[in-house]
Amino acid sequence: MKKINIGLLVITLVCSFIAILGELDRGIVIVLKDSSIVLTATLPYILNRLFKVKLNDGVIFVWLIFIFLAHYMGVTLEVYNKWAGFDKVVHTFSGILTAYVGMLFLPKGINKIWFKVLFILAFSAMCAFLWETFEFVCNILFGGDAQRVAETGVTDTMMDMIVAFIGASIFSLGYYIKEKN
C-alpha cells in the first residue's frame, strides 16, 4: 500500500507541476491555485514529519484519491464546470473519506455497534457541514459562488451534504457488517 500511495502522490504532483507550467501566463491566482495541490497532496506526510501524526496507509490512499479528484480534476482541469455530476461524485467520496476518519476517532471502550455507526455518521455529517460553511464564508469574503447559490439557491449545498451522508452511510454499512462478523 505504501508503494501505491507513493505512486499516487507522484502522479498527483507531476500533474500539478504540468498544470502550473501550463498556466504561468494566466496570473498569480491561477498559479497559486494549482500550486496548492502540492500542499494538500503532501499534507499527510507533512503532518507526520512536523507533528508525528502517523496516518495509516488506507487514510493516505483515500486522501490522495480525493485530492486528485477534487482538487486536480475538479478545480484545475475544471471538470466541475464540464460535468455537473462530478461534484456529487466527489462529495459522495468525501463522505466515505470522512466516515473512515471518523472510525479512527471512535472513543475507546465503547462496544455498542450502533453507537459506533452513529458516531461515524455524525462525524461525517459534521465534516460536510463544516466544509459547506467554509465555502459559504469564502463566498462572502472573496465574492465567489462555489455553492452556486445564484443558480440553485440552497439546492447545491443541500445535495452536497446529502450525497456526503450517503457515502458515509455506505461506509457505515460496510463497517457494521464487518463488525458483526
DSSP three-state, residue 81: helix
**Cβ-contact 23, 31 below 8 angstroms:** yes
pLDDT band, residue 118 (cuts 50/70/90):
very high
Which helix (H) or strand (E) is 5 found in, with range? helix 2-22
pLDDT tens per residue across span 66-93: 999 988 999 889 898 899 899 999 999 9
pLDDT at 147 over 80: no
33-65 as b/e: b if 16+ CB within 10 A: bbeebeebbbebeeeeeeeeeebeeebbbbbbb
Per domain, the residue ranges of the chain are: 1-78, 84-181
Q: Which residue has the higher pLDDT, 54 or 41?
A: 41
Name the residue type at position 133: T
DSSP run (H or E) holding 122: helix 113-142
pLDDT of 88: 93
Specify the higher pLDDT residue, 27 or 10: 10
Mean pLDDT (the chain, rounded): 89
**pLDDT score of 98:** 93
Whether the pLDDT of residue 146 is over 70: the answer is no
Angle at 156 between CA 153 and CA 158, to 5 degrees: 95
pLDDT at 152: 72
pLDDT average, residue stretch 24-30: 79
C-alpha to C-alpha distance for 144 and 151, rounded to whole angstroms: 13
Name the grid cell of 156: 447545491
